[in-house]
Amino acid sequence: MSVPTSAVVVPDLLRHRTGLMPEQEAINVRGKTAITYRDWDRRSNAVARAVLDRLGGTGRGARVALLFGGDDWIDYAVAYLGVLKAGATAVHVNDTMPAVELRRRFDQCAVAGVIRGAALPPWRDDAGRWSVVVADLDQGDTGDIDTGVTPDDISDILYTSGTTGPAKPFTNPHGNLTYGRGSAALGQLVDPAPLLAPMPLGTTSSATTVAVLATTTPSPLIVCSPDDPEEIARLLATNGCATLILTPWTAIRLAAIRPQDRYDLSSVKTIGNASAIMPPRIARDLLAAMPNATIANAYAQSEAVPAIILGNVDPDRPMWLGRPGRGTEMRVVDPQGEPLPPGELGEVWLRCEAPKRLYLDQALNARVHAGGWTRTRDLGRATADGELFLFDRMTDVITTDGKLVSSLEVEAALYDHPSVREATVLALPDPEHGEVVAAVVAADPALDDATLAAFLAQRLEPHQVPARIHRLDALPRGGTGKVLKYQLRQRFGG
């Protein structure tokens, strides 16, 4: 069933919610500070007018960076909607990024100015960009403002996770965010009890949290850092949260502290997993900690959103992703782009009718998009009734002695060992086998390599068992918690 692209833009979502419930909290930060829909709407109107003044009266085509960090969610939300109401495009960054990376993104996106967190120093570079805090902008007329923004106008420039190299920028139209008046991935989140979203500021995740979660779900939204699992558990329990949205890396850290030993988490009904597959042991541990919950999985590629595959995580079928969401079409194709019969391994393609996210690099667009379809660069198998089973990222598949190995399947087996805290698997070159399976783990020192290899041999085929095991205290990760495999390949001989 098709879901038509909405005619509304992101500020319309906020205005609509403000009209329905002006005094309800829109965003609550760790139970300490909050903003109502009315105040969010009014303050962002004032910011929009001030941004327009700084942009010379027109926002269309202009790009404004949002540089925030820590708990500064409210000013971030006010600045974000202010930029969008001005008709400009938001570029999301945060204070954990090195100055050289910030400068790269600002130059790449031709950023005109920077709105920053109140605790951060002014941004200075030789490009003449202005740098202000929200208090500098939030002072004028708070009445409604209409700059004629359309669904095809660009709301954001977002960046990929950077797991295979430097993060790449892509545009995000308003109509992509408002498709079906919210993300298809959130269609099952309808419980009116509080929703907890532990997400990092200045990322694709925080943009979705503010522009979609805060404006479309019926649940009061609580936000916090993903880096403090104890606080996540406490907030779930004290607020009686029914929904928890997290990434696998947050799930790994939360499961590791056994929150059920100190908190009653029986209120949680839905755990929303995004960004990557959750290891089966972690899924089982979370379900043990939250006995009334199911784990809802949302699979998509950044460039294909809101085309999405939805299903509930089943630890006994870890590679099962579910079926296409409403408005999403899926096919599995051969290298020539021809559809494959059910059960055959091929590349997963997705599409929907929403305005597309496009890379700033046009050559990259030509490689990723084809005839309305988005090539996910993931390998999988489809069943006759439309279920999708993931195999691996094409860049992560390992070919050893002519046999394909899924790094995800080997990672799942590694996480099955209780002494393994973190794990990833990658291909390393080998003169005899072409490539070999290499594991990089953070684990209890008492677990020696031979014992771990024997453990894996009981769960994997011989060609899947890692030929090399490397140890680190912690794996390198990007802003959303994904492992930066390209750094490990460089370090260990890839």
The kind and range of the H/E element at 66 are strand 63-68
Residue 192 binned pLDDT confidence (cut-offs 50, 70, 90): confident
Would the pLDDT of 5 be above 60? no
| Arithmetic mean of pLDDT, 143-147 | 94
At residue 187, the pLDDT reads 42
Mean of the pLDDT values across residues 36-63? 97
Percentage with pLDDT > 70 across the chain? 96
For the cut 70, the answer to whether the pLDDT of residue 186 exceeds it is no
Using the CB atoms, write b or e for 330-364: b if 16+ within 10 Å.
Answer: bbbbeeeeeeeeeeeebbbbbbbbbbbbbbeeeee
The residue out of 118, 148, 179 marking a domain boundary is 179
The answer as to whether 261 is a domain residue is no
- 248 within domain boundaries: no
Domain assignment present for residue 356? The answer is no
Does 101 fall in a domain? Answer: yes
Number of domains in the chain: 2
Confidence of residue 2 (pLDDT cuts 50, 70, 90): very low
CA distance 244 to 235: 10
Q: Does 364 have pLDDT greater than 60? A: yes
Q: pTM of the prediction? A: 0.92
Rounded to whole angstroms, the Cα distance separating 222 from 244 reads 10
Task: Compute and round to an integer the Cα radius of gyration of the chain.
Answer: 23
| Cα dihedral sign, 101-105-111-113 | negative
Q: Which amino acid is at 107?
A: D
Has residue 43 got a pLDDT over 80?
Answer: yes
The tens digit of pLDDT for each residue in 319-345 reads 999 999 989 999 999 999 999 999 999
What's the average model confidence in pLDDT over 359-376? 92
Element (H, E) at 108: helix 99-109
Predicted pLDDT at 184: 38
Percent of the chain with pLDDT over 90: 85
CB-CB neighbours of 436 under 10 Å: 19
CATH classification of the domain holding 440: 3.30.300.30
Q: Which of the listed residues 179, 212, 246 is the one where a domain comes to its end?
A: 179
Q: Quick one: average pLDDT of 277-282?
A: 94
Give the residue, 210 or 302, on which the prediction is more confident. 210
Q: How far apart are CA 350 and CA 330, in angstroms?
A: 5
pLDDT digits (tens, 9 = 90+) for 207-236: 999 999 999 988 899 999 999 999 999 999
In the three-class reduction of DSSP (H, G, I as helix; E, B as strand; rest coil), residue 287 is classed as helix
The whole-number pLDDT of residue 190 equals: 54
CA-wise closest residue to 183 among 354, 335, 436: 354
SS3 content of the chain, % helix, strand, coil (to 5): 30, 30, 45
Task: Look at residue 229 and tell me if it is in a domain.
Answer: no
Chosen domain end from 121, 147, 179 = 179
274 in a domain, yes or no?
A: no
Give tens-digit pLDDT for 477-494.
988 888 999 999 999 985
Q: Which residue range(s) make up the domain with 405?
A: 398-492
> What CATH number is associated with residue 115?
3.40.50.12780
pLDDT at 308: 92
Q: Which residue has 């094409």 as its token pair?
A: 394
Is beta strand 25-29 parallel, antiparallel or unpaired with respect to 221-224? parallel
d(CA 89, CA 97): 20
In a domain, 459, yes or no: yes
